[in-house]
Amino acid sequence: MAGHGSAKFSWYEPLRDREALRRAVFYVMSRPGLFLNTSSDTTILRDILEAASEAAVLPARAEMSRRRALLRWSRCSFQGCPTESSLGSDR
- Smallest CA-to-CA distance from 90 within 49, 71, 62, 54 is with 62
Q: Mind listing the pLDDT tens digit of every residue in the chain (91 residues)?
A: 445 555 667 788 888 889 889 888 988 888 889 888 888 888 899 999 999 998 877 777 787 788 777 766 555 555 555 555 555 544 4
Per the confidence metrics, is the pTM higher than 0.75?
A: no
Counting beta carbons within 10 angstroms of the beta carbon of residue 28, is it exposed (0 to 12), middle (13 to 18) or buried (19 or more)? middle
- Cα 44–Cα 48–Cα 50 angle in degrees, nearest 5: 115
